[in-house]
Amino acid sequence: MNLSEDVAGRLDVLYAKFTQARIPVQTFETDERAAVAIVFERINRLGVELDTLQLLSAWTWSDDFDLQEEFVDLAEALEPFGFKDVGEDSNLLLRCCAAIVSGDASPSAIIEMKGAQVRERFSEVKKGILGAIDFLRSNCKVHSAVYLPFSNILVPLAVFFATAREQDTVPTEAQRSALLRWFWRTIFSRRYSKRLEQLNEDIHEVVNLREGRPHILGDFAVDLQPGFFLESTFNFNTVNTKAFVLLLAMQEPVNFISGAPVQLQTSLRESNRKEFHHLFPRKFLQAADVAQAQINSLTNFAVLGRAENNRLGGAAPSEYRSKMPADPSIFQRILDRSLCPANLFNDDYFAFAFARAQLLTQAAEQLMA
């Protein structure tokens, strides 16, 4: 290859820069897990995303306990119940471990755990997680992790149900009521949206509840207004939508034409998101120049089988009313189970939306009482 003297000279300069460059290397040795975690966190902050808790999961237990393999087995056990995602969320599972072992779900508590502690108490941790999920499925109509507004809500529940005994923990009626009140107040107040400290507060109080000591679990302010439902659009990625879906599920809705119960275990799955339909059809509202955000307000949705929704069609509510049962008691049951006001069939969308927001708020307040 023939190069001009100018190009050859520039290549020599470039080569010298590479061969003479000095790259600083800092050697870091410590047995302190917290220090190692901080270093790895900072190394990855501007590089490939690596969750600190996932890193600690592999690093902390690799020598004497294969925690990752246990998590995989747990995910497989939870899959038939719609909670495989929980078993695959190592951050959440590590919080459950730390909360059960030390009563603290903070990152520092996770870092400070000993591998032997988790190995010796993992069956207890597993029972706690399985008990928490069973409680949510049986009492809160949470048939899939997809509809859980906050995954961290599993942590205090896992603490309550964790046990070293052979028999599972069975809450008393008073304990069950306290857990349910706390659950609904937590999701409608969006309690876990910001501060982890509140999670630790609830862990402390749930232990008091379990041990029969005085507790203040759920004793925090909740200011739920109709705007929660009026101003939130239906989007499965939002906390408000998930809370709304669970509120509807608690009413045990029935289909609008047959009056038959909606099969919630089938409908409330990630693959069946199309089981939620507009009460005022989109085409009807679009023709009336209603804004898209208002069309998709939570107040305009109900749990309804796809086949029945297709039979109702895109007509105005006053028109599809004729396809619903004529029997007044059955008709009223359909409306009641969907928290739907009778003025739906007046075709006045805004009056309906306001009335339904009031009903939804009242139903939520009853659950939080």
Instruction: Count CB atoms within 10 A of the CB of residue 249.
Output: 19
pTM of the model: 0.83
Q: Which of 150, 336, 131, 334 is nearest to 243 (CA)?
A: 150
Instruction: Count CB atoms within 10 A of the CB of residue 63.
Output: 8
273, 236 Cβ separation under 8 angstroms: yes
Neighbouring residues of 236: CB distance < 8 A, sequence distance ≥ 6: 146, 242, 273
DSSP reduced 3-state for 170: coil
DSSP reduced 3-state for 106: coil
Reported as type and span, the H/E element at residue 304 is none
Residue 10 one-letter amino acid: R
Q: How far apart are CA 101 and CA 203, in angstroms?
A: 12
Q: How far apart are CA 213 and CA 218, in angstroms?
A: 15
Q: How far apart are CA 156 and CA 63, in angstroms?
A: 29
Instruction: Count CB atoms within 10 A of the CB of residue 18.
Output: 7
Looking at residue 62, its pLDDT comes to: 54
Neighbouring residues of 22: CB distance < 8 A, sequence distance ≥ 6: none
The strand pairing partners of 261, in sequence order, are 254
Kind of pairing, strands 276-278 and 301-303? antiparallel
Can you list the residues of the chain whose pLDDT is less than 70? 1-2, 25-65, 266-274
Looking at residue 271, its pLDDT comes to: 46
Q: How far is CA 309 from the centre of its chain?
A: 27
